[in-house]
Amino acid sequence: MNNIYQVSISLTVIIIITACGESESEETNNDNLNDAEEIATQFIRYVDDIEEYRYEFEINGEEKIHVVEYADLSADEVLWRSETDGSGSGTLYQAVSGETLLNYNDHYNLYNYNEVTQQVDDTPADLLATRDGLESLIADEESSLTHEGEEEINGVMAHKISSGETAYWISTETSMLLKTNGSNPDTITTILNFEELEPFDEGFFELDDVISDDAKEGDIGEAMLEEQISE
C-alpha cells in the first residue's frame, strides 16, 4: 500500500510541476508580446468567441464596394455567405457550404456552382481571414507589429497597429476591428456594422431566401461582359 501511495504522490507532484511549467511558459509568451501584438491578440480572442455573426463593411478603392458577410462558426465546418454591391449590375450573393461555392446575381437572375479550391485551413470569410493574418504576423519572428497610437474612427477610439504598409484600427473598448488598409494605401476597408446573431434559418447558406423560382443556371461573368459590350 505504501508503494501505491508513493507512486500516487509522485504522479501528483509531476502533474503540478508540469502545470506550473505550462503556466510559466504561457506567461513568458505573453510577456514577449509587444503592445501591438497584445492588441491584436485581444481581437483574435474576441473573434474566437463568436459563433454566428453579421459583418458589414465598405471597400474604397478604384470603386466603392459594399459587402455584408454572414458566418456560422458554431460547427467544425464554417458556413459563410456574402452579399456584394458595387459593380452596378445588381447584388452578387455567394455562399459556401461544405466544398461548394454557390453564386447568384439578382440582376441577371443567374446562379452557378463552383468547387471550393481553398486550402483546408483557408476561409472566404473576410473577418476570419483578418484574424488568421494577424495570428501569422504574431507567430512570424521575421515580422513585427507596431502600435502607432490611437485615432478616432467614425466616433470610436481605436488603436492603430501596423506591419509594413498594412494597418489595422481596433476598437479600444470592444477589441473589434474598425478599419484596415492593405499594401495599397488607396484601398481602405471600413467596418460599418458588426453584430452577433441567433442561429440562422435552415437554407440561409444555400441562398434559399434570395434565388428566385425562375432563376437559370449560367455564367454570371459572361453575362456581365456581354452587357458591357452591348453598351
Total domains in the chain come to: 2
Q: pLDDT by residue (tens digit) across 133-143?
A: 999 999 988 88
Q: pLDDT by residue (tens digit) across 73-116?
A: 988 888 999 999 986 789 999 999 878 899 999 999 999 999 87
- Do residues 158 and 173 make contact, with C-beta atoms less than 8 angstroms apart? no
Do 53 and 28 share a domain, yes or no?
A: no
Output the CA torsion 36→40→46→50 (10° steps): 170
Do 62 and 127 share a domain, yes or no?
A: yes
Do 28 and 47 share a domain, yes or no?
A: no
Do 67 and 174 share a domain, yes or no?
A: yes
Q: Which domain holds residue 13?
A: 1-32
Do 13 and 82 share a domain, yes or no?
A: no
Do 157 and 86 share a domain, yes or no?
A: yes
Contacts of 197 (CB under 8 A, 6+ apart): 52, 53, 54, 70
Do 145 and 60 share a domain, yes or no?
A: yes
Do 79 and 149 share a domain, yes or no?
A: yes
Assess whether pLDDT exceeds 70 at residue 149.
yes
pLDDT confidence band for 31 (50 / 70 / 90): low
Q: pLDDT by residue (tens digit) across 168-191?
A: 999 999 999 999 998 777 789 999
pLDDT confidence band for 8 (50 / 70 / 90): very low
Assess whether pLDDT exceeds 60 at residue 158.
yes
152: left (phi over 0), alpha (psi -120 to 50) or beta: beta
pLDDT for res 146:
96
DSSP state of 214: T
